[in-house]
Amino acid sequence: MARVLSPIPLALAAVLLAGLATSAAAADSAEATPAYDGAELYALNCANCHGTYGEGDGRVTPALSVVLLDLRYLAARNEGEFPTEFVRDIIDGREMRAAHGPQGMPVWGAEFARGEGTSDAAEARVAGKIDALTAFLEAIQQDDE
């Protein structure tokens, strides 16, 4: 004779499995896009050229063929509004912006991707780093140039 399983334990098992799947998805999501410290990323990747405080006076600045702008006044030079998307695009660098001129700085989107891989989760981590750098630059803005 066939044994009939009660629907209650099956429903409980389904709820538990759904909970485990949700926890696993949340863990994957947390791994895919960790929180990045924009100040730390800036110090590691940008300060050699742009200076510790964004003044354009980094250690290698004397060897550069261009004068770097003071990054603390991006908003002031843009009628008081921080140009978030423009800054993000410049940091990423994977799409050429004619208005920016020749690419003189590293293409950080490609540099970060090199260390992360090519998956969707890796691209989310790259975007997280670029967003953290952009937020850091917005945070250091000064009112008057």
Q: How confident is the model at residue 105 (pLDDT cuts 50, 70, 90)?
A: confident
pLDDT tens for 66-87 read: 889 999 999 999 999 999 999 9
pLDDT classification of 145: cutoffs 50, 70, 90:
low
Enter the tokens of residue 69: 């702008």
Pick from 124, 89, 135: nearest CA to 108 = 89
Q: What is the pLDDT of residues 45-57, one digit of tens each?
A: 999 999 999 999 9
Per-residue pLDDT band for 91 (boundaries 50, 70, 90) equals very high
DSSP letter at 35?
-
